[in-house]
Amino acid sequence: MEERLSKGPSSLRQGSLKSSLSGRSTPKGSPTYRRLNSSRTPRREARSGAGGTQWFRSNRVVYWLLLITLWAYLGFYVQSRWAHGHKKEEFLGFNGDPRDKLVDAEQNTRRDLLTDDSLVAVNNITNKTQVHVDRKIDVILAKKGNGFTSRKKRSKRRRRNLPKVRGKLKAKTNTENGDAEGQELEILQKNSTFGLLVGPFGSLEDRVLEWSPEKRSGTCDRKGDFARLVWSRRLVLVFHELSMTGAPISMMELATELLSCGATVSAVVLSKKGGLMSELARRRIKVIEDRADLSFKTAMKADLVIAGSAVCASWIDQYIAHFPAGGSQIAWWIMENRREYFDRSKLVLHRVKMLIFLSELQSKQWLTWCQEENIKLRSQPALVPLAVNDELAFVAGFPCSLNTPSASSVKMLEKRQLLRDAARKEMGLTDNDMLVISLSSINAGKGQLFLLESADLAINEYPLQTGSEVKKSLDIRPDQSSLSVKHHLRGLHQRSRNLDVSSTNLRLFTSVNTTNAVSINGTHRRKMYDSKGAQEQALKILIGSVGSKSNKIPYVKEILSFLSQHAKLSESVLWAPATTRVASLYSAADVYVMNSQGLGETFGRVTVEAMAFGLPVLGTDGGGTKEIVEHNVTGLLHPMGHPGTRVLAENIRFLLKNPNARKQMGMEGRKMVERKYLKRHMYKRFVEVLTKCMRSK
């Protein structure tokens, strides 16, 4: 035994390999056994770990390369986050400015009444916080220290080292922007001078309907022709602005539908004025930051470019100058109907592939102007009217892509009634109130002041037009004759003979019978009562789009001045903030008013939305409204301008006293929407446009 142990290590090493390979057992105490099973001992593990660390330290080149790689990655990450503006304060660890949170809280409780395109106009009006009429208008200015100007002040400090001239110009711009954002006029929640601010009702809709737009997984009909046509295609959509008005919202919904159907969509925004940028981000619509070279390069690679307003003429002109063949891939969806828009776009009308219009009257008007200017278009214009989107159709109770077994169209009708009750309760309305709404941007072209004048006539029961007044109105000079005046006089003369003329063609007043005739200058005014002797309903007026970037401050000031002089009317006026969540407003309403002036509304997307919710429409006798609203069937028409205020007052008073008429007109309106103005109808027409305009694969 001792002789074996006395053998040198060399002999053990020589025999170790042989013994291990031969399969013979090795004594546990032998060095061979320890080498073969060294991974089992903690001490060996520690030595091997220490060896790895020592190796890593000895190779310092690898260490420095790894450190440089991590540092470069961190630098690029910070730079990209900063460049794309992902909440810079919060990203750097400051968790945002608490003053910004205070501003958000205040904005949720006190909504901005108005803004204006012209910042100078904002400054002039905000410096004058009192309007002296018979009484002072109660208007408050936003507090200077509420956080609105904090970012502007920081931007000024950053620019102190810039050249003097450039610094002065930018400082002036920042000051104006600060005034527009922080010192705009606001309306109080309760104010007896000019009405009550209600809403928004987005959270109420989510709670009552148990559904919200965020839950939407897509509205595309995969089996439809539109989906097959745009699948894997690249399209560029040009927005002229991001205000919550018809054209930008329609373009946003088109982009959403294209993305849902598998297309690649890029948006070019010419003006970021408005509140839709966050909505575009929520819908994952990519916005190209650059409006020049980068947008041109993206458009050149696209299969089709769709411009969504006549205001896009400048971008189209620059794009064609940059890429002369680009006009053959542009479809221009024009949504305006005024001569000023034609004048700014006429130089490029003949250079695009196709023009798209919203209504027959708009198409005829623009073609007439083209003939006057000797403009020859490349192809015959297409007609693609707007439609009710799936989100509103879903709430209104129409079958659509959002329906599920637990949210069928029948169940949504029941939930819509619950939404109506909840919204009216929050507004402070009773079952005896008739709510008339108008959700257009607040400017003279939309006629909100005329609406309030008509409501004042209806509320105070002022005497309306008589036969002698009509006869006097007929004596007009030849130079005053126009189509709108003729429509007005014809309708006015008809109403003067019999104020109940609207009911003769409806065949729906079986329960509204009793009338009292009063002779006035040879004419008859009929006062109607409910057959059950119920109390007459009270009139309430709701004006929407408070805080919209398209509002005109001087016009809103004029409205407030009018309300300050009519205390009884102001008690019946409600205001609602600008929002894309309007289902609760339509559900709560009883009547919709489209009171556009001038040439009338180009189409009136809100008109078909209101009809989808079963509302009769009181609209002006012109433009697209005349094409949508069938007089005495889905609503009542009235002339434009001041002459139309009395006729509109008659129509309001008529519907106020005849709930059955409202119900029947609303039912007819829903039938018309189901026949002509749902999403499938609009995209069926779009297929024809895309087939003619889009590049072949």
- Cβ atoms of 542 and 195 closer than 8 Å: no
User: Which pTM does this prediction carry?
Assistant: 0.68
CA distances from 229 to 52, 474, 687, 693, 697 (A): 60, 56, 8, 12, 11
Residue appearing with tokens 């659509």: 400
Q: Is residue 212 part of a domain?
A: no
pLDDT tens-place string over residues 7-51: 444 444 444 444 444 444 556 556 655 555 554 454 444 455 555
**Which residues lie below 8 Å from residue 30, measured CB to CB, with a gap of 6+?**
12, 16
Q: Is the domain of 370 the same as that of 433?
A: no
- Cβ atoms of 100 and 178 closer than 8 Å: no
Q: Is the domain of 597 the same as that of 645?
A: yes
Rounded (10°) angle between helices 643-657 and 448-459: 50
d(CA 631, CA 487): 13
d(CA 650, CA 491): 12
Check whether 152 has a pLDDT greater than 60.
Answer: no
Measuring CA to CA, which residue among 459, 439, 444 is closest to residue 591? 439
| Structure confidence at residue 574 as a pLDDT band (50, 70, 90) | very high
d(CA 182, CA 180): 6
- Domain around 332: 225-386+686-694
CA distances from 316 to 297, 312, 677 (A): 13, 6, 30
Check whether 456 has a pLDDT greater than 50.
Answer: yes
Check whether 464 has a pLDDT greater than 50.
Answer: yes
d(CA 239, CA 245): 12
* CA 644 remoteness from chain centre: 30
Q: Is residue 327 part of a domain?
A: yes
Q: Is the domain of 647 the same as that of 613?
A: yes
Q: Is the domain of 374 the same as that of 405?
A: no
- Kind of pairing between the strands at 523-528 and 538-546: unpaired
| Structure confidence at residue 217 as a pLDDT band (50, 70, 90) | low
- Kind of pairing between the strands at 523-528 and 515-520: antiparallel
The residues with which 526 forms a beta bridge, in sequence order, are: 517
d(CA 361, CA 365): 6
Instruction: Report the chain's mean pLDDT, rounded to a whole number.
Output: 74
Q: Is the domain of 668 the same as that of 609?
A: yes
Q: Is residue 30 part of a domain?
A: no
Q: Is the domain of 372 the same as that of 404?
A: no
Q: Is residue 118 part of a domain?
A: no
Amino acid type, 542: L
Check whether 249 has a pLDDT greater than 60.
Answer: yes
Q: Is the domain of 267 the same as that of 396?
A: no
Q: Is the domain of 354 the same as that of 404?
A: no
Cβ neighbours around 25 below 10 Å, total? 7
| Structure confidence at residue 608 as a pLDDT band (50, 70, 90) | very high
Q: Give me the phi and psi of 327, to 5 degrees please.
A: -65, -25
Check residue 697 and give its pLDDT. Answer: 53
Q: What is the 3-state secondary structure (H, E, C) of 408-474?
A: CHHHHHHHHHHHHHHHHHHHCCCCCEEEEEECCCCCHHHCHHHHHHHHHHHHCCCCCCCHHHHHHHH
Which CATH number goes with the domain that contains 578?
3.40.50.2000
Check residue 547 and give its pLDDT. Answer: 84
Mean pLDDT, residues 102-110 taken together? 40
Check whether 102 has a pLDDT greater than 70.
Answer: no
Which one is predicted more confidently, 533 or 434?
434
Check residue 74 and give its pLDDT. Answer: 82
Check residue 676 and give its pLDDT. Answer: 95
Measuring CA to CA, which residue among 178, 111, 202 is closest to residue 546? 111
pLDDT tens-place string over residues 580-596: 899 999 999 999 999 99
Q: Is the domain of 457 the same as that of 366?
A: no
d(CA 236, CA 312): 13
Q: Is the domain of 337 the same as that of 285?
A: yes
CA distances from 618 to 466, 519, 534, 559, 685 (A): 22, 27, 24, 20, 28
Quick one: tokens of 71?
Answer: 């540092």
DSSP 563-618: HHT-HHHHTTEEEEE--S--HHHHHH-SEEEE---TT--SS-HHHHHHHHTT--EE
Which one is predicted more confidently, 295 or 22?
295
- State the DSSP H helix or E strand holding residue 119, giving kind and residue range, or none if neither: helix 119-126
| Structure confidence at residue 651 as a pLDDT band (50, 70, 90) | very high
- Kind of pairing between the strands at 185-186 and 140-141: antiparallel
- Cβ atoms of 20 and 32 closer than 8 Å: yes
Check whether 447 has a pLDDT greater than 50.
Answer: yes
Check whether 443 has a pLDDT greater than 60.
Answer: yes
Q: Is residue 452 part of a domain?
A: yes
The residues with which 637 forms a beta bridge, in sequence order, are: 619
Q: Which of 165-174, 315-324, 676-685 has the lowest mean pLDDT?
A: 165-174
Cβ neighbours around 158 below 10 Å, total? 9
Give percent of the chain above pLDDT 70: 63
Check residue 31 and give its pLDDT. Answer: 60
Q: Over the range 277-312, which residues count as b (16 or more CB within 10 Å of their CB) and which as e?
A: eebbeebebeebeebeeebbebbeebbbbbbbbbbb
Amino acid type, 628: I
- Cβ atoms of 78 and 69 closer than 8 Å: no
Measuring CA to CA, which residue among 402, 373, 362, 115 is closest to residue 247? 362
Q: Is residue 467 part of a domain?
A: no
Mean pLDDT, residues 417-442 taken together? 95
Check residue 528 and give its pLDDT. Answer: 40
Check residue 418 and give its pLDDT. Answer: 96
Maximum average pLDDT range among 104-108, 326-330, 457-461: 326-330
Check whether 484 has a pLDDT greater than 90.
Answer: no
| Structure confidence at residue 221 as a pLDDT band (50, 70, 90) | confident
- Cβ atoms of 465 and 492 closer than 8 Å: yes
Rounded (10°) angle between helices 119-126 and 553-564: 30
Q: Is the domain of 337 the same as that of 249?
A: yes
Check whether 160 has a pLDDT greater than 70.
Answer: no
Mean pLDDT, residues 195-222 taken together? 83
d(CA 424, CA 186): 23
Check residue 67 and give its pLDDT. Answer: 84
Q: Is residue 192 part of a domain?
A: no
**Domain count along the chain:** 2
Check whether 487 has a pLDDT greater than 60.
Answer: no
Mean pLDDT, residues 104-114 taken together? 41
Q: Which of 456-460, 546-550, 632-636 has the lowest mean pLDDT?
A: 546-550
Q: Is residue 230 part of a domain?
A: yes
d(CA 675, CA 566): 42
Q: Is the domain of 256 the same as that of 347?
A: yes
d(CA 538, CA 574): 14
Check whether 495 has a pLDDT greater than 50.
Answer: no
Measuring CA to CA, which residue among 326, 309, 304, 308 is closest to residue 317? 326
Check whether 391 has a pLDDT greater than 70.
Answer: yes
Check whether 357 has a pLDDT greater than 70.
Answer: yes
Check residue 141 and give its pLDDT. Answer: 28
Check residue 455 and give its pLDDT. Answer: 95
The length of the chain, given as a count of residues? 697
d(CA 612, CA 666): 8
Which one is predicted more confidently, 512 or 641?
641
Radius of gyration of the chain from its Cα atoms, rounded to whole angstroms? 35
Q: Which of 358-372, 399-413, 580-594 has the lowest mean pLDDT?
A: 399-413
Check residue 273 and give its pLDDT. Answer: 82
